[in-house]
């Protein structure tokens, strides 16, 4: 059985006459944890759309979990992909436990006349504990902080036992403490679910978990660099990606970025 989770080959994507993605190739193996980095408008959301089997390429091929887009039943494929979106469009006051259970049904709301099994309830509770929300199990969605919502959505995504976990700017709107709590949860996942591959989308280096293994840097719909994170996230590549002189620093597994004066850029 192949360990390749995602395989993009020479992918081009056009919308409304504009080419948004220009010949991107990208491969992710099981257990790898990728950061997808780039400025606003770089094409990150479109690439994530390929990963989640929501967007088809104009040309080139996209294989997700060994299935080629355009030749596969999408609903079945999506059941094996966990997606954490901080803009989760829940409209009703479900509890944390109920929100997590929707990871089984793949819906935003709980389906009518659907009842989880005892095993599913137990697994949901175990995941709620794993993300540190046991004390908030019965708290309702409108009463949760943004950080608590993010952790609940991670538990929801994991309940379906995905092979690929997608995190779309999961720290959006979080204060420093909530961000660090969420990153701690993500770091633990590398040990509790070592076979699951992940892609975290961000444009802030400070938001990368310490367990990040690889990075793809995207600018203007093209790959600037891709590969092991220590080789890919550098002062030179981040400067090119964001079209601004930026110094990159790495310490104790965490990354930092700050503006670099032009004189120092030329001597770096």
Distance, in Å, from the CA atom of 218 to the CA atom of 21, rounded to the nearest integer, reads 10
User: Tokens standing for 26?
Assistant: 């990208």
Number of Cβ within 10 Å of residue 181's Cβ equals: 17
pLDDT in tens, the chain (268 residues): 469 999 999 999 999 889 999 999 999 999 999 999 999 999 999 999 999 999 999 999 999 999 999 888 888 888 899 999 888 889 899 999 999 999 988 888 988 888 999 999 999 999 999 999 999 999 999 999 999 999 999 999 999 899 999 999 998 888 899 899 999 999 998 888 889 999 999 988 999 999 999 999 999 999 999 999 999 999 999 999 999 999 999 998 899 999 877 655 455 5
Q: What would the pLDDT profile of 57-67 be if each residue is shown by its tens digit?
A: 999 999 999 99
What is the reported pLDDT for 85?
87
Tokens 């491969």 correspond to 27
Q: Are 169 and 161 in contact (CB under 8 A)?
A: no
* CATH classification number, 4-80+163-267, choose in 3.40.830.10, 3.40.50.300, 3.30.2130.30, 3.40.1230.10: 3.40.50.300
Domain ranges (residues) in the chain? 4-80+163-267, 90-161
Q: Are 155 and 133 in contact (CB under 8 A)?
A: yes
Q: For the chain, list the strands marked E by DSSP.
A: 4-15, 18-29, 33-37, 59-64, 67-68, 81-84, 164-168, 197-202, 214-219, 222-228, 246-251, 254-259
């Amino acid at each position: 059985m192949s360990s390749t989770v995602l395989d993009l080959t020479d992918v081009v994507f056009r919308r409304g006459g504009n080419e948004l993605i220009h010949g991107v190739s990208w491969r992710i193996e099981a257990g790898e944890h990728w950061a997808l980095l780039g400025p606003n408008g770089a094409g990150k959301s479109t690439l994530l759309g390929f990963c989640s089997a929501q967007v088809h390429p104009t040309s080139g091929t996209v294989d997700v979990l060994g299935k080629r887009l355009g030749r596969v039943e999408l609903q079945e494929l999506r059941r094996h992909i966990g997606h954490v979106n901080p803009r989760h469009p829940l409209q009703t006051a479900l509890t944390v436990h109920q929100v997590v259970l929707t990871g089984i049904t793949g819906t935003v709301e709980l389906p009518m006349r659907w009842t989880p099994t005892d095993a599913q309830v137990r697994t949901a509770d175990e995941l709620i504990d794993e993300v540190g929300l046991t004390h908030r199990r019965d708290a309702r969605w409108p009463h949760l902080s943004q950080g608590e919502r993010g952790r609940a959505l991670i538990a929801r995504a994991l309940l379906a036992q995905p092979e690929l976990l997608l995190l779309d700017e999961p720290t959006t709107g979080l204060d420093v403490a909530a961000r660090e709590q969420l990153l701690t949860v993500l770091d633990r996942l590398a040990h509790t679910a070592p076979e699951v591959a992940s892609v975290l989308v961000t444009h802030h280096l400070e938001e990368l978990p310490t367990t990040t293994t690889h990075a793809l840097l995207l600018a203007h719909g093209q790959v600037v660099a891709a590969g092991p994170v220590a080789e890919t996230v550098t002062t030179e590549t981040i400067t090119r990606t964001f079209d601004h002189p930026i110094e990159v620093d790495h310490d104790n597994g965490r990354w930092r970025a700050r503006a670099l004066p032009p004189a120092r850029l030329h001597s770096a």
